[in-house]
Structure 1
């Protein structure tokens, strides 16, 4: 088994490397004194639904802020304005044919309008979109780095805590 792991690591280390930059964030809507965040559900490689924050690649000529607003709109149907940056996630993963170094710019955004839906997601990556109570984000978000971004947003929204 050890040899198998070593050969997989060896193979991955010889794959070409690509760099990707994305942007997205945490869109907050307050309803009757309760805060909710727009999240999307995507299927992972194993076919399990995982909840995550809306985000996507920065297109040519876009700023990270522009991309965050566009990606949120595409993946959730929500119109939002940026309140402030909340952090950058930097990580590596291995695809079928390459290793990817990914940087994701996250923003805290304020809900302006729209109905939550995945209908306009051009890549059809988001299977479902839902308003999740802020208090449930730590349990619902699939990735630890996104849970950390949620913690930053919660701290900004509740400075007295």
Structure 2
């Protein structure tokens, strides 16, 4: 999905791409799943919606692909948005999830995966949007 945008009157118009992804905040026994990219960022599993897929299906598939665990979606947590460069706008739909898996098998783009206490996750997560999403997930769990 794209649109045309210009912040400078009289300049050339630039194509802006809108990408939609889904991800999961996955809990197991009071801990939360985190992945560390080879570039060092700590993140939650997420990825692009495939044609014909529902949002919840995408979230479950991405957790399986990126972390190597099956997870059950419990609740929709909402959306985060950010810019990935000047011409890409990303929207991520997040789900609260649970797994019983004991072992992670992170995909090759990740250096490692861990289940960590929520407080440690809040400190380790690289991006503010992920920290806000974790806070939403913790509030949802306490209801």
TM-score by length of 2: 0.85
Distance in 1 between residues matched to 2:121 and 2:51, nearest whole Å: 32
- Higher radius of gyration, 1 or 2: 1
Provide the residue aligned with 1:17 in structure 2. Answer: 16
Cα drift, residue 100 of structure 1: 0.5
More helix by share: 1
Distance in 2 between residues matched to 1:114 and 1:138, nearest whole Å: 22
Distance in 2 between residues matched to 1:132 and 1:99, nearest whole Å: 35
Matched, 1:141 2:129: no
- CA-atom RMSD, angstroms? 1.9
Cα drift, residue 126 of structure 1: 2.1
Deviations 1:77-115 (A, max 9, x none): 111110001110012121xxx611100000000114362
Distance in 2 between residues matched to 1:146 and 1:87, nearest whole Å: 12
Deviations 1:20-56 (A, max 9, x none): 00001101000xxxx1111111144xxxx01011000
Provide the residue aligned with 2:63 in structure 1. Answer: 72
The number of residues matched between the two structures is 134
Distance in 1 between residues matched to 2:84 and 2:61, nearest whole Å: 25
SS at match of 1:75: helix
Distance in 1 between residues matched to 2:88 and 2:116, nearest whole Å: 30
Cα drift, residue 14 of structure 1: 5.3
SS at match of 1:66: helix
Cα drift, residue 17 of structure 1: 1.3
Whether the 8 Å CA contact 1:77–1:114 is kept in 2: the answer is no
Provide the residue aligned with 2:97 in structure 1. Answer: 109
Provide the residue aligned with 2:44 in structure 1. Answer: 53
TM-score by length of 1: 0.76
Please list every run of at least 4 consecutive aligned residues from structure 1 whose deviation after the TM superposition is greater than 3 angstroms: none
